[in-house]
Amino acid sequence: MKLALAADHGGVELKEEIKKYLADKDLELIDLGTDCSDSVDYPFYGKACGEAVMSGKADRGIVFCGTGIGISIAANKVKGIRCALATSTVMAELSRKHNNANVLALGGRILSLEEAKAIVDVWLTTEFEGGRHKRRTDLLDEM
């Protein structure tokens, strides 16, 4: 799986730690920045990740900012992106099972590294259930 990662200054530290954590897994990681803690604008990074997923450059993406909120809004502006902010493994699991989330948002100032690792693991390994949920994700994609 090709996985795009993008963060603003509030999420860069968590992005770098998750990147290290995922390095030994069977994934191709595409780092879209930022690479430092200097203040940057999260909309550019959320959009870049969403566009990477929708263009096929990446299969899925993970975005990071201070809370995960702003960058998730930015990613969701890209048509076809279903970015889910997850603060628990239950949210990560259901975002995949029911919403077929193709981008995950995490808050660098909200989650511990251990919480983030657990959320990422669940999100990467949970499959979409389809069925009645497919009808709903199709409706989202038509919006």
* pLDDT at residue 93, as a whole number: 98
Residue range 130-140: mean pLDDT, rounded: 96
* pLDDT at residue 25, as a whole number: 95
Residues with active-site annotation: 65, 98
* pLDDT at residue 19, as a whole number: 98
Q: Tokens 């994609």 label which residue?
A: 141
Burial group, residue 39, by CB count within 10 angstroms (0-12, 13-18, 19+) = exposed
DSSP secondary structure letter of residue 107? E
Mean pLDDT score of the chain, rounded to an integer?
Answer: 97
Region of residue 25 (left: phi > 0; alpha: psi -120 to 50; beta: else): beta
Using only the alpha carbons of the chain, give its radius of gyration: 14
CATH class of 2-142: alpha beta
* pLDDT at residue 26, as a whole number: 94
| For the chain, domain boundaries | 2-142
pTM (global) more than 0.95: yes
Residue range 57-71: mean pLDDT, rounded: 98
CB 135 within 8 Å of CB 99? no
Give the tens place of pLDDT for each residue, 71-120. Answer: 999 999 999 999 999 999 999 999 999 999 999 999 999 999 999 999 99
